[in-house]
Amino acid sequence: MTNQELQARKTQVIARGQGNLYPVYIERGENAELWDVDGNRYIDFATGIAVCNTGHSHPKVVAAVKQQLDKFSHTCVMVNPYESAIELAEKLTQAAPGNSEKKAIFVTTGAEAVENCVKIARAHTGRRGVIAFNGGFHGRTNLAMALTGKITPYKNLFGPFPGDIFHAPFPIESHGISIEESLRALDTLFKVDIASTDVAAIIVEPVQGEGGFYPAPAEFLRALRERCDEHGIVLIADEIQTGFGRTGKMFSFEHADVEPDLITMAKGIAGGFPIAAVVGKSQIMDAPLPGGLGGTYGGSPVACTAALSVLEIIDQENLIARANQLGQLFNERLTLLQNQFPEVIHDVRNQGAMIALELGKSATQFIPNPELTQSLIAKAAEHGLILLACGFYGNVIRFLPALTMTDAIANEGLDKFERLFSQLSS
Ligand code: PMP
Protein backbone atom coordinates (compact mmCIF):
# COMPACT_ATOMS: atom_id res chain seq x y z
CA MET A 1 0.00 0.00 0.00
CA THR A 2 1.26 3.48 -0.90
CA ASN A 3 0.85 6.72 1.07
CA GLN A 4 -1.77 7.81 -1.43
CA GLU A 5 -3.78 4.59 -1.20
CA LEU A 6 -3.67 4.62 2.60
CA GLN A 7 -4.78 8.25 2.75
CA ALA A 8 -7.74 7.43 0.49
CA ARG A 9 -8.71 4.54 2.82
CA LYS A 10 -8.22 6.76 5.87
CA THR A 11 -10.56 9.50 4.71
CA GLN A 12 -13.27 6.87 4.12
CA VAL A 13 -13.22 5.53 7.66
CA ILE A 14 -11.65 8.03 10.05
CA ALA A 15 -13.69 11.17 10.75
CA ARG A 16 -12.17 14.44 9.54
CA GLY A 17 -12.04 15.75 13.12
CA GLN A 18 -9.08 13.43 13.68
CA GLY A 19 -7.07 14.97 10.87
CA ASN A 20 -3.50 14.11 9.85
CA LEU A 21 -0.92 16.75 9.11
CA TYR A 22 0.94 14.69 6.49
CA PRO A 23 -0.39 11.99 4.17
CA VAL A 24 2.79 10.12 5.09
CA TYR A 25 2.31 6.63 6.53
CA ILE A 26 5.20 5.45 8.64
CA GLU A 27 6.67 2.00 8.30
CA ARG A 28 9.72 2.32 10.51
CA GLY A 29 11.40 4.73 12.89
CA GLU A 30 14.90 4.72 14.30
CA ASN A 31 16.05 7.39 16.72
CA ALA A 32 15.48 10.69 14.86
CA GLU A 33 14.65 9.26 11.43
CA LEU A 34 11.44 7.90 9.92
CA TRP A 35 10.75 5.90 6.76
CA ASP A 36 7.35 5.81 5.05
CA VAL A 37 5.59 3.03 3.13
CA ASP A 38 6.86 4.46 -0.18
CA GLY A 39 10.47 4.14 1.04
CA ASN A 40 11.01 7.89 1.65
CA ARG A 41 13.24 8.93 4.54
CA TYR A 42 12.45 11.84 6.88
CA ILE A 43 14.30 13.69 9.58
CA ASP A 44 11.86 13.99 12.43
CA PHE A 45 11.63 17.44 14.04
CA ALA A 46 8.28 16.57 15.64
CA THR A 47 8.91 13.42 17.76
CA GLY A 48 5.18 12.63 17.65
CA ILE A 49 4.52 16.02 19.35
CA ALA A 50 7.26 16.02 22.00
CA VAL A 51 6.81 12.36 22.92
CA CYS A 52 9.86 10.46 21.68
CA ASN A 53 12.44 12.54 23.58
CA THR A 54 14.58 9.39 23.70
CA GLY A 55 14.13 8.80 19.95
CA HIS A 56 12.03 6.26 18.10
CA SER A 57 12.27 2.72 19.43
CA HIS A 58 15.24 3.26 21.73
CA PRO A 59 16.74 -0.25 22.04
CA LYS A 60 16.61 -0.13 25.86
CA VAL A 61 12.91 0.83 25.88
CA VAL A 62 12.15 -1.90 23.32
CA ALA A 63 14.01 -4.53 25.39
CA ALA A 64 12.28 -3.50 28.64
CA VAL A 65 8.83 -3.57 27.03
CA LYS A 66 9.44 -6.99 25.40
CA GLN A 67 10.53 -8.38 28.74
CA GLN A 68 7.41 -7.03 30.47
CA LEU A 69 5.14 -8.43 27.73
CA ASP A 70 6.60 -11.88 28.32
CA LYS A 71 5.42 -11.62 31.95
CA PHE A 72 1.97 -9.97 31.72
CA SER A 73 0.38 -7.05 29.84
CA HIS A 74 -2.41 -5.87 32.14
CA THR A 75 -3.97 -6.52 35.51
CA CYS A 76 -5.18 -2.95 36.29
CA VAL A 77 -3.11 -1.14 38.87
CA MET A 78 -6.32 -0.59 40.89
CA VAL A 79 -6.91 -4.37 41.13
CA ASN A 80 -3.53 -6.09 41.30
CA PRO A 81 -0.66 -3.61 41.34
CA TYR A 82 2.98 -4.39 40.50
CA GLU A 83 6.39 -3.11 41.52
CA SER A 84 7.08 -1.08 38.37
CA ALA A 85 4.21 1.32 39.21
CA ILE A 86 5.55 1.88 42.72
CA GLU A 87 9.09 2.37 41.45
CA LEU A 88 7.90 4.84 38.82
CA ALA A 89 5.92 6.83 41.41
CA GLU A 90 9.03 6.89 43.63
CA LYS A 91 11.17 8.18 40.77
CA LEU A 92 8.65 10.79 39.57
CA THR A 93 8.00 12.20 43.05
CA GLN A 94 11.78 12.42 43.46
CA ALA A 95 12.28 14.14 40.09
CA ALA A 96 9.49 16.71 40.52
CA PRO A 97 10.66 20.24 41.41
CA GLY A 98 10.78 21.30 45.06
CA ASN A 99 11.34 19.59 48.40
CA SER A 100 7.79 18.97 49.64
CA GLU A 101 6.72 15.39 50.22
CA LYS A 102 4.91 14.22 47.10
CA LYS A 103 2.63 11.50 45.79
CA ALA A 104 1.58 10.45 42.27
CA ILE A 105 -1.36 8.97 40.40
CA PHE A 106 -1.27 7.37 36.97
CA VAL A 107 -3.67 7.96 34.09
CA THR A 108 -3.43 7.44 30.34
CA THR A 109 -3.27 10.78 28.49
CA GLY A 110 -2.30 14.38 29.07
CA ALA A 111 -5.88 15.64 29.04
CA GLU A 112 -6.77 13.09 31.69
CA ALA A 113 -3.90 14.29 33.88
CA VAL A 114 -5.23 17.87 33.55
CA GLU A 115 -8.78 16.79 34.46
CA ASN A 116 -7.49 14.94 37.51
CA CYS A 117 -5.52 17.97 38.68
CA VAL A 118 -8.76 19.95 38.69
CA LYS A 119 -10.58 17.19 40.61
CA ILE A 120 -7.80 16.99 43.19
CA ALA A 121 -7.57 20.78 43.58
CA ARG A 122 -11.34 21.05 44.03
CA ALA A 123 -11.42 18.19 46.55
CA HIS A 124 -8.55 19.80 48.49
CA THR A 125 -9.89 23.35 48.57
CA GLY A 126 -13.65 22.74 48.48
CA ARG A 127 -13.74 25.52 45.85
CA ARG A 128 -15.05 25.57 42.27
CA GLY A 129 -13.14 28.07 40.09
CA VAL A 130 -10.20 27.33 37.80
CA ILE A 131 -8.15 29.98 36.01
CA ALA A 132 -6.19 29.27 32.84
CA PHE A 133 -4.48 31.53 30.30
CA ASN A 134 -5.25 32.86 26.84
CA GLY A 135 -3.48 30.78 24.21
CA GLY A 136 -2.89 27.89 26.62
CA PHE A 137 -3.53 24.31 25.59
CA HIS A 138 -4.60 21.64 28.06
CA GLY A 139 -6.25 18.95 25.95
CA ARG A 140 -9.37 17.97 24.06
CA THR A 141 -11.59 16.29 26.66
CA ASN A 142 -14.50 18.34 27.95
CA LEU A 143 -12.95 20.01 30.98
CA ALA A 144 -9.44 20.24 29.47
CA MET A 145 -10.93 21.79 26.33
CA ALA A 146 -12.72 24.39 28.43
CA LEU A 147 -9.36 25.29 30.02
CA THR A 148 -7.72 25.56 26.60
CA GLY A 149 -7.49 29.21 25.61
CA LYS A 150 -8.11 29.06 21.86
CA ILE A 151 -11.38 28.58 19.99
CA THR A 152 -10.38 27.27 16.54
CA PRO A 153 -10.04 24.35 16.09
CA TYR A 154 -10.30 23.16 19.69
CA LYS A 155 -13.58 24.60 20.97
CA ASN A 156 -15.89 25.68 18.18
CA LEU A 157 -18.96 23.46 17.74
CA PHE A 158 -18.31 21.85 21.16
CA GLY A 159 -20.22 24.02 23.65
CA PRO A 160 -21.74 24.35 26.16
CA PHE A 161 -18.61 24.33 28.27
CA PRO A 162 -18.27 23.41 31.93
CA GLY A 163 -18.76 26.38 34.25
CA ASP A 164 -16.37 28.14 36.61
CA ILE A 165 -13.48 28.29 34.13
CA PHE A 166 -11.85 31.69 33.57
CA HIS A 167 -9.03 32.96 31.37
CA ALA A 168 -6.43 35.65 31.93
CA PRO A 169 -3.93 37.07 29.40
CA PHE A 170 -0.57 35.27 29.19
CA PRO A 171 2.38 37.65 29.23
CA ILE A 172 4.07 37.84 25.81
CA GLU A 173 6.11 41.02 25.53
CA SER A 174 6.31 40.95 21.71
CA HIS A 175 2.50 40.75 21.50
CA GLY A 176 2.19 43.79 23.72
CA ILE A 177 1.17 41.94 26.91
CA SER A 178 3.45 42.72 29.84
CA ILE A 179 3.77 40.73 33.06
CA GLU A 180 2.14 43.62 34.96
CA GLU A 181 -0.81 43.68 32.61
CA SER A 182 -1.32 39.95 32.92
CA LEU A 183 -1.19 40.07 36.73
CA ARG A 184 -3.49 43.09 36.82
CA ALA A 185 -6.02 41.16 34.72
CA LEU A 186 -5.82 38.29 37.20
CA ASP A 187 -6.51 40.63 40.10
CA THR A 188 -9.39 42.17 38.12
CA LEU A 189 -10.83 38.67 37.59
CA PHE A 190 -10.96 38.28 41.38
CA LYS A 191 -12.95 41.53 41.56
CA VAL A 192 -15.23 41.01 38.56
CA ASP A 193 -15.86 37.31 37.91
CA ILE A 194 -14.93 35.13 40.87
CA ALA A 195 -13.76 35.82 44.42
CA SER A 196 -10.24 34.56 45.06
CA THR A 197 -11.72 32.51 47.92
CA ASP A 198 -13.78 30.56 45.37
CA VAL A 199 -10.80 29.72 43.14
CA ALA A 200 -9.52 26.15 43.48
CA ALA A 201 -6.63 26.34 41.01
CA ILE A 202 -4.58 28.28 38.51
CA ILE A 203 -3.17 26.15 35.68
CA VAL A 204 -0.25 27.35 33.58
CA GLU A 205 2.19 25.95 31.04
CA PRO A 206 5.75 27.09 31.86
CA VAL A 207 6.27 27.35 28.10
CA GLN A 208 3.07 27.58 26.07
CA GLY A 209 3.24 24.63 23.69
CA GLU A 210 0.45 24.59 21.11
CA GLY A 211 0.11 28.31 21.92
CA GLY A 212 3.43 29.16 20.25
CA PHE A 213 6.46 28.21 22.40
CA TYR A 214 6.27 31.35 24.53
CA PRO A 215 8.12 30.85 27.82
CA ALA A 216 6.39 32.22 30.91
CA PRO A 217 8.84 34.73 32.39
CA ALA A 218 10.34 33.44 35.68
CA GLU A 219 9.11 36.60 37.39
CA PHE A 220 5.56 35.80 36.26
CA LEU A 221 5.67 32.22 37.59
CA ARG A 222 7.01 33.53 40.90
CA ALA A 223 4.19 36.09 41.06
CA LEU A 224 1.63 33.32 40.40
CA ARG A 225 3.18 31.29 43.23
CA GLU A 226 2.82 34.31 45.56
CA ARG A 227 -0.81 34.93 44.59
CA CYS A 228 -1.68 31.25 45.03
CA ASP A 229 -0.05 31.24 48.48
CA GLU A 230 -1.82 34.46 49.43
CA HIS A 231 -5.28 33.19 48.39
CA GLY A 232 -4.97 29.46 49.20
CA ILE A 233 -5.14 28.53 45.48
CA VAL A 234 -3.55 25.34 44.09
CA LEU A 235 -0.88 26.10 41.45
CA ILE A 236 -0.95 23.50 38.65
CA ALA A 237 2.04 23.25 36.32
CA ASP A 238 1.06 21.74 32.98
CA GLU A 239 4.41 20.18 32.04
CA ILE A 240 2.94 17.77 29.50
CA GLN A 241 4.94 19.20 26.58
CA THR A 242 7.83 20.68 28.58
CA GLY A 243 8.69 17.74 30.82
CA PHE A 244 11.37 15.05 30.84
CA GLY A 245 14.40 17.08 29.86
CA ARG A 246 12.83 18.81 26.87
CA THR A 247 13.55 22.37 28.06
CA GLY A 248 17.04 21.72 29.39
CA LYS A 249 15.82 20.93 32.91
CA MET A 250 13.90 17.84 33.98
CA PHE A 251 10.85 20.12 34.36
CA SER A 252 10.58 23.66 33.05
CA PHE A 253 9.36 25.15 36.36
CA GLU A 254 12.92 24.58 37.63
CA HIS A 255 14.08 27.44 35.38
CA ALA A 256 12.03 29.80 37.59
CA ASP A 257 12.93 27.97 40.81
CA VAL A 258 9.23 27.65 41.64
CA GLU A 259 7.61 24.60 43.25
CA PRO A 260 4.10 24.03 41.89
CA ASP A 261 1.48 22.21 43.97
CA LEU A 262 0.47 19.76 41.24
CA ILE A 263 2.27 18.81 38.04
CA THR A 264 0.89 17.09 34.94
CA MET A 265 3.25 14.69 33.19
CA ALA A 266 2.67 12.86 29.90
CA LYS A 267 4.20 12.80 26.39
CA GLY A 268 7.98 12.42 26.97
CA ILE A 269 7.40 10.22 30.03
CA ALA A 270 7.54 6.84 28.27
CA GLY A 271 8.93 7.12 24.72
CA GLY A 272 5.53 6.67 23.04
CA PHE A 273 3.64 4.42 25.44
CA PRO A 274 0.36 5.91 26.66
CA ILE A 275 0.83 6.85 30.27
CA ALA A 276 0.43 10.13 32.12
CA ALA A 277 0.74 11.15 35.73
CA VAL A 278 -0.19 13.79 38.24
CA VAL A 279 2.51 14.40 40.82
CA GLY A 280 1.93 16.80 43.68
CA LYS A 281 2.19 17.68 47.30
CA SER A 282 1.01 14.73 49.40
CA GLN A 283 -1.53 16.60 51.50
CA ILE A 284 -3.24 17.88 48.33
CA MET A 285 -2.96 14.60 46.41
CA ASP A 286 -4.62 12.68 49.24
CA ALA A 287 -7.75 14.87 49.31
CA PRO A 288 -9.92 12.64 47.02
CA LEU A 289 -11.40 9.51 48.59
CA PRO A 290 -10.15 6.00 47.67
CA GLY A 291 -11.53 5.04 44.26
CA GLY A 292 -12.15 8.67 43.26
CA LEU A 293 -9.16 8.75 40.90
CA GLY A 294 -7.72 6.38 38.33
CA GLY A 295 -9.06 4.20 35.54
CA THR A 296 -8.71 0.86 33.82
CA TYR A 297 -5.51 1.54 31.89
CA GLY A 298 -3.83 4.22 34.02
CA GLY A 299 -0.34 3.03 34.95
CA SER A 300 -0.26 0.12 32.50
CA PRO A 301 2.62 -2.23 33.40
CA VAL A 302 3.98 -2.03 29.86
CA ALA A 303 3.98 1.78 29.95
CA CYS A 304 5.44 1.89 33.50
CA THR A 305 8.32 -0.32 32.36
CA ALA A 306 8.88 1.93 29.34
CA ALA A 307 8.82 5.03 31.56
CA LEU A 308 11.38 3.55 33.96
CA SER A 309 13.72 2.86 31.10
CA VAL A 310 13.18 6.38 29.65
CA LEU A 311 14.19 7.87 33.02
CA GLU A 312 17.31 5.70 33.02
CA ILE A 313 18.21 6.78 29.47
CA ILE A 314 17.74 10.49 30.29
CA ASP A 315 20.22 10.02 33.10
CA GLN A 316 22.73 7.68 31.42
CA GLU A 317 22.86 9.59 28.13
CA ASN A 318 22.88 13.05 29.78
CA LEU A 319 19.85 14.10 27.77
CA ILE A 320 19.11 17.19 29.84
CA ALA A 321 22.48 18.68 28.92
CA ARG A 322 21.93 17.45 25.37
CA ALA A 323 18.64 19.38 25.18
CA ASN A 324 20.58 22.58 25.86
CA GLN A 325 23.25 21.72 23.27
CA LEU A 326 20.65 20.96 20.62
CA GLY A 327 18.74 24.14 21.50
CA GLN A 328 21.91 26.15 21.00
CA LEU A 329 22.73 24.45 17.69
CA PHE A 330 19.22 25.11 16.33
CA ASN A 331 19.14 28.65 17.68
CA GLU A 332 22.49 29.55 16.11
CA ARG A 333 21.57 28.21 12.69
CA LEU A 334 18.06 29.67 12.72
CA THR A 335 19.46 33.05 13.80
CA LEU A 336 21.72 33.00 10.73
CA LEU A 337 18.60 32.37 8.66
CA GLN A 338 16.88 35.28 10.44
CA ASN A 339 19.77 37.55 9.44
CA GLN A 340 19.14 36.50 5.85
CA PHE A 341 15.35 37.00 6.06
CA PRO A 342 14.77 39.69 8.70
CA GLU A 343 11.45 40.78 7.22
CA VAL A 344 9.77 37.37 7.64
CA ILE A 345 11.56 35.88 10.65
CA HIS A 346 10.16 37.81 13.58
CA ASP A 347 11.88 35.83 16.35
CA VAL A 348 14.05 32.79 17.08
CA ARG A 349 13.81 31.47 20.63
CA ASN A 350 14.33 28.30 22.61
CA GLN A 351 14.15 26.90 26.08
CA GLY A 352 16.42 23.87 25.72
CA ALA A 353 15.23 21.78 22.79
CA MET A 354 11.85 23.48 22.57
CA ILE A 355 12.77 25.70 19.66
CA ALA A 356 10.61 28.21 17.81
CA LEU A 357 10.85 30.25 14.65
CA GLU A 358 8.16 32.93 14.67
CA LEU A 359 7.15 34.25 11.26
CA GLY A 360 5.99 37.77 10.51
CA LYS A 361 5.49 40.18 7.64
CA SER A 362 7.60 43.13 8.73
CA ALA A 363 11.06 43.64 10.20
CA THR A 364 9.85 46.52 12.37
CA GLN A 365 6.47 45.50 13.75
CA PHE A 366 4.69 42.30 14.76
CA ILE A 367 2.39 41.15 11.95
CA PRO A 368 1.86 37.36 12.12
CA ASN A 369 2.49 35.32 8.98
CA PRO A 370 0.36 32.15 9.18
CA GLU A 371 0.37 31.84 5.36
CA LEU A 372 4.15 31.29 5.14
CA THR A 373 3.96 28.98 8.16
CA GLN A 374 1.33 26.84 6.43
CA SER A 375 3.26 26.65 3.16
CA LEU A 376 6.40 25.52 5.01
CA ILE A 377 4.42 22.74 6.69
CA ALA A 378 2.74 21.79 3.42
CA LYS A 379 6.10 21.40 1.63
CA ALA A 380 8.19 19.97 4.50
CA ALA A 381 7.58 16.29 3.76
CA GLU A 382 8.63 16.74 0.12
CA HIS A 383 11.95 17.99 1.51
CA GLY A 384 12.30 14.98 3.81
CA LEU A 385 11.28 16.76 7.00
CA ILE A 386 8.53 16.24 9.57
CA LEU A 387 7.81 19.68 10.99
CA LEU A 388 5.07 21.12 13.19
CA ALA A 389 3.47 24.53 13.43
CA CYS A 390 1.88 26.11 16.49
CA GLY A 391 0.91 29.52 17.80
CA PHE A 392 -2.07 31.54 18.91
CA TYR A 393 -1.72 33.27 15.52
CA GLY A 394 -0.67 30.08 13.69
CA ASN A 395 2.65 31.70 12.77
CA VAL A 396 5.27 29.63 14.60
CA ILE A 397 7.32 26.69 13.34
CA ARG A 398 8.27 24.52 16.29
CA PHE A 399 11.25 22.20 16.38
CA LEU A 400 11.08 19.28 18.81
CA PRO A 401 14.09 17.10 17.98
CA ALA A 402 14.67 13.85 19.85
CA LEU A 403 17.18 14.62 22.60
CA THR A 404 19.15 11.67 21.25
CA MET A 405 19.48 13.32 17.81
CA THR A 406 23.11 13.56 16.63
CA ASP A 407 24.63 16.85 15.47
CA ALA A 408 24.99 15.33 11.98
CA ILE A 409 21.26 14.60 11.69
CA ALA A 410 20.32 17.96 13.24
CA ASN A 411 22.52 19.77 10.71
CA GLU A 412 21.23 17.69 7.80
CA GLY A 413 17.66 18.50 8.85
CA LEU A 414 18.45 22.19 9.22
CA ASP A 415 20.10 22.18 5.76
CA LYS A 416 16.86 20.79 4.36
CA PHE A 417 14.86 23.39 6.29
CA GLU A 418 17.03 26.25 5.01
CA ARG A 419 16.59 25.09 1.40
CA LEU A 420 12.83 24.85 1.90
CA PHE A 421 12.68 28.24 3.59
CA SER A 422 14.77 29.96 0.91
CA GLN A 423 12.60 28.45 -1.83
CA LEU A 424 9.39 29.74 -0.27
CA SER A 425 10.65 33.13 0.91
CA SER A 426 12.60 34.49 -2.02
N1 PMP B 1 -1.33 19.97 27.95
C2 PMP B 1 -0.32 20.33 27.15
C3 PMP B 1 0.60 21.43 27.58
C4 PMP B 1 -0.12 19.69 25.92
O5 PMP B 1 0.87 20.08 25.11
C6 PMP B 1 -1.01 18.64 25.55
C7 PMP B 1 -0.86 17.90 24.22
N8 PMP B 1 -0.41 18.65 23.16
C9 PMP B 1 -2.03 18.28 26.44
C10 PMP B 1 -2.17 18.96 27.62
C11 PMP B 1 -2.99 17.15 26.11
O12 PMP B 1 -2.33 15.93 26.12
P13 PMP B 1 -2.97 14.65 25.40
O14 PMP B 1 -3.01 14.96 23.94
O15 PMP B 1 -2.05 13.51 25.75
O16 PMP B 1 -4.32 14.47 25.97
User: Which of 316, 346, 370 is at the close of a domain?
Assistant: 316
Non-local CB neighbours of 215 within 8 Å, separated by 6+ positions? 206, 207, 252, 255, 349, 351
Rounded Cα distance between 274 and 302, Å, is 9
212 closest CA partner among 349, 325, 371, 344: 349
Which CATH number belongs to the domain containing residue 355 in this structure? 3.90.1150.10
Q: Is the peptide bond before 160 cis (omega within 30 degrees of 0)?
A: yes
Overall number of domains in the chain: 2
> HEC states along 390-409?
ECCCCCEEEECCCCCCCHHH
Atom of ligand 1 nearest to the CA of 276: 15
Atom of ligand 1 nearest to the CA of 209: 5
Rounded Cα distance between 44 and 416, Å, is 12
- pLDDT tens for 142-189 read 999 999 999 999 999 999 999 999 999 999 998 999 999 999 999 999
Domain co-membership, 212 together with 342: no
| Overall pTM surpassing 0.85 (yes/no) | yes
Atom of ligand 1 nearest to the CA of 114: 10
Q: What is the pLDDT of residue 425?
A: 87
Rounded to the nearest whole angstrom, what is the distance from the C-alpha of residue 320 to the centroid of ligand 1? 21
The helix-helix angle for 301-316 and 319-340 (nearest 10°) equals 70
Non-local CB neighbours of 292 within 8 Å, separated by 6+ positions? 119, 123
Residues of the chain with pLDDT under 50: none
Q: Which is it for strands 276-281 and 262-265: parallel, antiparallel or unpaired?
A: antiparallel
49, 115, 137, 269: residue to mutate for ligand 1 pocket, most atoms within 8 A of CB: 137
115, 133, 236, 241: residue to mutate for ligand 1 pocket, most atoms within 8 A of CB: 241
Rounded Cα distance between 384 and 49, Å, is 17
**Enclosing domain of residue 182:** 62-316
Which CATH number belongs to the domain containing residue 136 in this structure? 3.40.640.10
Residue spans of alpha helices (H) in 16-155: 47-50, 59-71, 83-95, 110-125, 142-147
Q: What is the pLDDT of residue 426?
A: 73
Atom of ligand 1 nearest to the CA of 266: 15
Give the burial class of 253: count Cβ atoms within 10 A of its Cβ; 0-12 exposed, 13-18 middle, 19 or more buried. buried
Domain co-membership, 395 together with 264: no
Name residues contacting ligand 1 (CB within 6 A). Answer: 49, 109-111, 114, 137-139, 205, 209-210, 238, 240-241, 266
Domain co-membership, 196 together with 83: yes
Give, as one character, the DSSP assignment of residue 256.
Answer: G
- pLDDT tens for 219-254 read 999 999 999 999 999 999 999 999 999 999 999 999
Domain co-membership, 120 together with 265: yes
- pLDDT tens for 278-306 read 999 999 999 999 999 999 999 999 999 99
Rounded to the nearest whole angstrom, what is the distance from the C-alpha of residue 426 to the centroid of ligand 1? 35
Other CB atoms within 10 Å distance of the CB of residue 407: 10
Residue nearest to atom 10 of ligand 1 (CA): 138
